[in-house]
Amino acid sequence: MPHRTFLWFILPSLTAMILFIALPIVSVVIQSLHVEHEQVLVTVENCGPFGCTEETRVDRAATEALREAQPLGRFNGLGTYLDRRHLATAEVAEAWRSSETMGQFWGRLMNLPFYKALAFTLAYTFIVTPLVLVLGLAIALGVNGLPRLMRGPTIFFSLLPMIVTPLIGSLVLFWMIDADGVIGATLARLFDDPNLSLKASPTLTWITIFVYGVWHSAPFAFIVFYAGLQTVPEETLEAAMIDGANRWERIRYVVIPHLMPLAVFITLMQLMDNFRVFEPIVGFQAQASATSLSYIIYSDLRGDVQQFGSAAATSVLTILGVAILLAPVLVRTWRDFNRKRA
């Protein structure tokens, strides 16, 4: 396809992405390299319904003058990236020097917000993604084996976890897993431990969020795999059967290779979405035990003072993280692409 035609076809899509994604990313990167101007503070008397107090405020005129001179703020280079709330290079080096055992170092590392969040994010990504793939495939194979009449309703119910708004899905589940809720109470009876609480211990909170993640994403993998199963070449399967392959061998050597491209697609999407895990943390109010990179960004942007610079730095680090995670898949796609060109 000539370059010109290509450009005309892609132009509308490209314009939208440049305007609303690329330009904001550029601005985010620039913001992450700057910090706010020095805020000139003055002490004044503030009064209200509850009396008067001496408090400080920002001296507007003085601060405004600084801002006019440099509208972006003070250039800080990678300072924000390296401070305690992000990569915390100084703190990590200090912990490395002063720790005697790896365990001690790990403990200190986990006390730093970024690494704590990264640990959960990675654990979530690498536990939930494979489980989603396996569960999705298992359900797809199971549904495929059902009588035709049963398949429709089954597919329909299977998709429910994906289509119920996560906000409310997690609210209802949060109540259900309460010690007094239906799931929490049932589990307590099952394990014969009346004090069992899924919300109190960090480990159980992590497991709860993982289970929720698998539950929520499995339908996506299921529907993609199920569709793929419809196109498994019948002849190959029959040939394999004539050669004496049992059911497992047929799945292993015929079905799975056929579904491989779909598995790559699901992995790609899941890695990316799981790395940005956020809703279940807020939905399950799990901030005390589990934070993710997206949660740190949210926490910076919420509240009374919005910390754009810090959120911007974490966002850039998130993008880099996703790029690293996806690298193997991307290399594979690049090879395929070149093979097709050849």
Partner 1 sequence: MGASRRSTALVVISTALVALWVILAAFPFLWTLWGSFKVQGDFFSRSDWMNALTGPLTQEQTGGAFTGQGYWGAWVESGFWRNVVNTGIVVVCTVVISLTLGTLGGYALARSGFRYAFWLLMIALVFRAMPHITLVSGYLLPFFEWNLWGHLPTAIIVLVAINQPFTLWMLHSFFLNIPKDLDESAMVDGCTRFQAFRHVIMPVMWPGVITTGLFSFLLAYNDFAVTAMLLSSENQTMVPRIASFLGSVQQEGNVMFAVAAVVSATAPLFVLILFFQRQIVSGLTAGAVKG
Partner 2 sequence: MSFPRLTTLTAVATILGASAAMADCGIASGRVAILSNDFPALQAMAAAAAECASATVTVTANQTTEHRDIQVAALTANPAEYTSAVVANSSIVPLMNAGLIRPLDDLIAQYAPDLPQLNRITIDGQTMAVAFMANAQHLYLREDVLAQVGAEAPATYEEVLEVLAAIREAGIMEHPFAMNTGAGWNLGEEFVNMYLGHGGDLFEPGTANPSINNETGVATLEMLAALNAYANPDFLTFDSNATQALWESGQIAVGYMWGSRAAGILDAENSTPEITGATALAAAPTVGGGTVPASTLWWDGFTIAANISDEDAAATFQALMHGLRPEVITANNDAAVWLMPGFTPGASAEGVSATANAGARPYPMLPYAGLLHTALGNELAAFLQGQESAEQALADVEAAYIAAAREQGFLQ
Query: Residue 283, interface with partner 2 (CB under 8 A)?
Result: no
Distance of closest approach, residue 75 Cβ to partner 1, in angstroms = 19
Q: How many other CB atoms are found less than 10 A from the CB of residue 11?
A: 10
- Give residue 217's identity as a one-letter amino acid code: S
The residue (of 48 and 103) whose beta carbon lies closer to partner 2 is 48
Cα separation of 318 and 311, whole Å?
A: 10
323 contacts 331 by C-beta, under 8 angstroms: no
- Residues 26-65: x/- map of binding to partner 2 (CB under 8 A)? ---------xxxxx-xxxxxxxxxxxxxxxxxx-x---x-
Query: Residue 303, interface with partner 2 (CB under 8 A)?
Result: yes
- Give residue 123's identity as a one-letter amino acid code: A
The residue (of 122 and 241) whose beta carbon lies closer to partner 1 is 241
Distance of closest approach, residue 100 Cβ to partner 1, in angstroms = 38
- Residues 217-256: x/- map of binding to partner 2 (CB under 8 A)? ----------------------------------------
Cα separation of 160 and 154, whole Å?
A: 10
Binding partner 2 (rule: CB under 8 A), the pick from 307, 314, 315, 318 is: 307
Measured in whole angstroms, the distance separating CA 82 from the mean position of its chain's CA atoms is 22
Pinpoint the alpha helices (H) of 79-198: 79-82, 89-98, 102-109, 113-144, 148-158, 160-163, 166-176, 182-190
Phi-psi region of 77 (alpha: psi -120 to 50; beta: other; left: phi over 0): left
Q: Which helix (H) or strand (E) holds 53?
A: strand 51-58
Query: Residue 14, interface with partner 2 (CB under 8 A)?
Result: no
Helix, strand or coil, per DSSP, at residue 113: helix
By CB under 8 A, what part of segment 135-194 binds partner 2?
Answer: 178-179
The residue (of 170 and 205) whose beta carbon lies closer to partner 1 is 170
Distance of closest approach, residue 333 Cβ to partner 1, in angstroms = 7
Say what angle helices 293-301 and 308-341 make with each other, to 10 degrees.
140
292 contacts 213 by C-beta, under 8 angstroms: no
Cα separation of 206 and 208, whole Å?
A: 5
Distance of closest approach, residue 112 Cβ to partner 2, in angstroms = 9
- Residues 66-105: x/- map of binding to partner 2 (CB under 8 A)? -------xx-x---x--xxx-----x--------------
The residue (of 221 and 286) whose beta carbon lies closer to partner 1 is 221
**Interaction partner, residue 143 (partner 1, partner 2, none; CB < 5-8 Å by kind):** partner 1
Q: Which residues bind partner 2 (CB under 8 A)?
A: 35-39, 41-58, 60, 64, 73-74, 76, 80, 83-85, 91, 111, 113, 178-179, 195, 197, 199-200, 202, 284-289, 291, 299-307, 309-310
